[in-house]
Structure 1
Amino acid sequence: MAPLAEVVVGLVIVVGLVGAVVQVYPGGLIVLGAVAVWGVVTGGPVGWTVLTVAALAVLGAGVAKYLLAGRYLTRAGVPGRSLLAGGVLGVVGFFVVPVVGLALGFVLGVYLAELARRHEQGAAWRATVVAMKATGLTILIELAGAMVATGAWGIGLLLTR
């Protein structure tokens, strides 16, 4: 692959890593897409091995984040409808309050749903904190998968020189 094309792939990977943290777009999949383009164009054992490692890391992280966060929320007794309320208000907040509206809307949505369900402010807030921790866990897992894919790409770059 031409050096300029590798720089473009690297920039797309950086965009994907940012997406894995901010969770506004699918960062892990963007990283995987960039690495896939590099792997296919580079070809050979190195290109295909890097692509395989990246795909396993990103897709494995995608599965793991839902399983682990779901288990965490189930143990804490936070139902899916509370998360749905948080998601809906998060989307509304994204458009109403620039930059921080998504997070504020999510927290407010989960809190209000849990308050309506439990009728106690302390219990509703504890459930909201659990939901925020679960969200943080999913961010870390997705970022870890994207970082492994990025590391595989970096090693692949070194091996193809």
Structure 2
Amino acid sequence: MTWTDAVVALLLLVGILGIVVPILPGTVLIGSTLLVWAILTGGAAWWWFAAVVVVLLIGTVVQYAVPGKRLKAAGIPTRTLLVGGVLGVVGFFVVPVVGLVIGFVLGVYLAETSRVGREEAWPSTVHALKAVGLSMAIEATAAVVASSIWVVAAFRL
């Protein structure tokens, strides 16, 4: 293992952790890292990089499509998620890292309270949280598969 491989492995790990703990854009970090790796390695590395791009693109599409479909089925409007997202970003700066989750939950709950009332707001909030969790799981799975492709490529090249 070269020092380049060690740096790439570390950045891939940081990218995966950035998905689970939303501090860094994990998918972008993984894709960028492997782009630089392909540039530095050259040759067949580009085919491996192409496979990584396909996996990350599929993961990104599925990450939004599947939870979005479930939220529509549960009757939760996009506006509710936008309010949750805005309060999540505000919460991130007020209480670093943990504030993102707290702000999102509070934003969704408040938006749903104004839309459907207090009794129905909490079940809607739970649906939204499950959708976010599913989205993160899908993105993390794509990131692990993409990183695994690099591991195979690193041993083969």
Which residues of 2 match residues 11-160 of structure 1 at below 5 A? 11-45=10-44, 47-119=45-117, 121-160=118-157
* Deviation at residue 39 of structure 1 after TM alignment: 2.0
* Deviation at residue 110 of structure 1 after TM alignment: 0.3
| Residues 38 and 49, structure 2, Cα contact 8 Å, conserved in 1 | yes
Normalising by the residue count of structure 1, what TM-score does the alignment of the two structures yield? 0.92
User: What is the CA deviation profile of residues 26-62 of structure 1, one whole-angstrom value per residue up to 9, with x for unaligned ones?
Assistant: 10111111112112322222x1221011101111111
The letter of the residue matching 1:41 is L
The letter of the residue matching 2:102 is L
Task: Give the unaligned 5+ runs of structure 2.
Answer: none
User: What is the CA deviation profile of residues 55-111 of structure 1, one whole-angstrom value per residue up to 9, with x for unaligned ones?
Assistant: 011111111111111101100000011011101111111122233111011001000
Distance in structure 1 (CA, Å) of the matches to 2:8 and 2:149: 13
Q: Size of the alignment, in residue pairs? A: 157
* Deviation at residue 152 of structure 1 after TM alignment: 0.5
| Residues 50 and 153, structure 1, Cα contact 8 Å, conserved in 2 | yes
* Deviation at residue 144 of structure 1 after TM alignment: 0.8
The letter of the residue matching 1:3 is T
Distance in structure 2 (CA, Å) of the matches to 1:93 and 1:159: 45
Normalising by the residue count of structure 2, what TM-score does the alignment of the two structures yield? 0.94
* Deviation at residue 118 of structure 1 after TM alignment: 0.5
| Residues 72 and 134, structure 1, Cα contact 8 Å, conserved in 2 | yes
Distance in structure 2 (CA, Å) of the matches to 1:34 and 1:12: 7
| Residues 32 and 146, structure 1, Cα contact 8 Å, conserved in 2 | no
Distance in structure 1 (CA, Å) of the matches to 2:72 and 2:97: 30
Task: Give the unaligned 5+ runs of structure 1.
Answer: none
* Deviation at residue 14 of structure 1 after TM alignment: 1.2
